Amino acid sequence: MKFPSRVKLVDVGPRDGLQNEKQAVPAEVKIGLVHRLQEAGLKEIEVTSFVSPKWVPQMADNAEVMHGIRRRAGVRYSVLTPNMKGFEAALAAPREEWPDEIVVFGAASEAFSQKNINCSIAESIERFRPVAEAARDKGIFVRGAMSCTVGCPYEGEIAPERVGMLAKLMKGIGVQHVGVADTIGVGTPVKVLRALEATLAHYGVDEVSGHYHDTYGQALSNTLASLELGIWQYDTSVGGLGGCPFAKGATGNVATEDVVYMLHGMGIETGIDLDQLIDAGVYINQALGREPNSRVSKAIRTKRQG
Ligand code: HMG
Ligand code: MG
């Protein structure tokens, strides 16, 4: 079996992790989380989203968070921008505070597209088109998130052909990289591989990442299966934070700690210091009044106590 020798993890905790939190999380705590993640060795962090504060109140402090970050050389900062309004808001700052990467986010399911971004898949592509064009003009990398590539909370199972169709549409508007998301964590390895293969018909293996929520406890298995296919980029969330407010029952992303432990155990490099990462997970969970949702974090913290 041949696995990649190096994997890049994008911690989406500050965005996907916190967007669904009911309690207000102060901007300074979010900034503190970003700082701890970069100190732990994360090379890409999904910081926030420029979406409607009426839809996602937790992300209303997007500009404040982006402004407050102390940038570290070699780290890339990404934000979600679903339309030109969001893109313009993300760039309404001095150039050094611009995101390195923006994310347009569509779905392989019509019903989820409507619930999440209030438009059809076809309409979403027309909204993303000028965003992708404007970003590339300014030298900002364009990533696309593809939700519900395995299952949808409203439509049930999603056929791989629909994932392929979405990937093709994303490619057509100049999206440079796509994330295959199992939004509600229902996927199992073979189903996730089908969604990835449908995507790989339009994107190269270096242009595709996995974004697996862990609702049914399958995310590590899905990650391992994806590694076998050569996929070496994954979105993960420190402390297993996360969930989408528009996908009922969806829980957090796979915990970054769990993925790092698995990869290091397989001899795969991440550049991440697991101990510091665990501390970052403790930091944000203390702010939320919870325990990190990561088995590895729990095991290592128990061991630390001797
Ligand atoms: P809309 O209602 O279709 O937009 O919303 P609109 O153009 O008709 O505007 C309606 C109102 O929203 C107006 O304000 C606009 O100014 C405002 P009003 O006149 O009513 O006061 N507005 C905005 N405000 C701030 N920033 C913007 C913006 N755009 C319009 N960018 C929109 C469309 C997409 C904005 C809305 O549906 C929305 O914000 N949805 C939230 C989507 C979201 O954040 N979902 C969670 C992230 S996706 C996710 O978690 C999945 C992922 O992790 C992968 C996976 O796991 O599947 C990525
Ligand atoms: Mg997600």
For 29, 85, 89, 119, 136, the CA distances from 122, given in Å and listed in that order, are 37, 19, 24, 8, 21
Q: Is 244 a catalytic residue?
A: yes
Q: Residue 215 C-alpha to ligand 1 middle, in angstroms? A: 24
Q: Give the pLDDT of residue 36.
A: 98
Which residue among 48, 51, 162 has the greatest number of ligand 1 atoms within 8 angstroms of its CB, and so is best to mutate?
A: 51
Q: How open is the CA angle 273-274-278, to the nearest 5 degrees?
A: 120
- Cβ atoms of 215 and 250 within 8 Å: the answer is yes
Q: First CA to last CA across the chain, in angstroms?
A: 36
pLDDT of residue 244: 78
Does residue 249 register a pLDDT over 80? no
CB of 116 closer than 8 Å to CB of 134:
no
Q: Whose CA is nearest to atom 32 of ligand 1?
A: 117
Atom of ligand 1 nearest to the CA of 49: 44
Q: Which amino acid is at 17?
A: G
In a domain, residue 2? The reply is no
Question: For a pLDDT cut of 70, what percent of the chain falls above it?
Answer: 100
Higher-pLDDT residue of 216, 2: 216
Residue 236 Cα to ligand 1 middle (Å): 23
**Do the domain assignments include residue 1?**
no
CATH code, domain with 35: 3.20.20.70
Average pLDDT, the chain: 97
Residue 245: is its pLDDT beyond 90?
no
The reply to whether 162 falls in a domain is: yes
Whether residue 243 has pLDDT greater than 90: no
pLDDT of residue 242: 85
In the chain, % of residues over pLDDT 90: 95
- pLDDT of 147-178, one tens digit each? 999 999 999 999 999 999 999 999 999 999 99
Q: Report the nearest-CA residue for atom 25 of ligand 1.
A: 52
Task: Decide whether any atom of ligand 1 lies within 6 Å of the 18 Cβ.
Answer: no
Q: Are 103 and 126 in contact (CB under 8 A)?
A: no
Query: What is the longest distance spanned by two Cα atoms in the chain?
Result: 57
Question: What's the domain count of the chain?
Answer: 1
Would residue 3 count as lying in a domain?
Answer: no
Q: Nearest Cα to 209, choosing from 186, 229, 190?
A: 229
Two structure tokens written together for 125: 């592509």
Cβ burial of 179 (10 Å; 0-12, 13-18, 19+) is buried
For residue 67, give its domain range. Answer: 8-304
Beta-bridge mates of residue 291: none
Query: Of 266, 184, 244, 242, nearest to 218 (Cα)?
Result: 184
Whether 200 shows a pLDDT value over 80: the answer reads yes
Give the pLDDT score at 306: 86
Atom 15, ligand 1: residue with shortest CA distance = 52
Q: Are strands 101-107 and 76-80 parallel, antiparallel or unpaired?
A: parallel
254 is a domain residue: yes
Nearest CA among 199, 195, 230, 229 for reference residue 212: 195
pLDDT tens per residue across span 16-50: 999 999 999 999 999 999 999 999 999 999 999 99
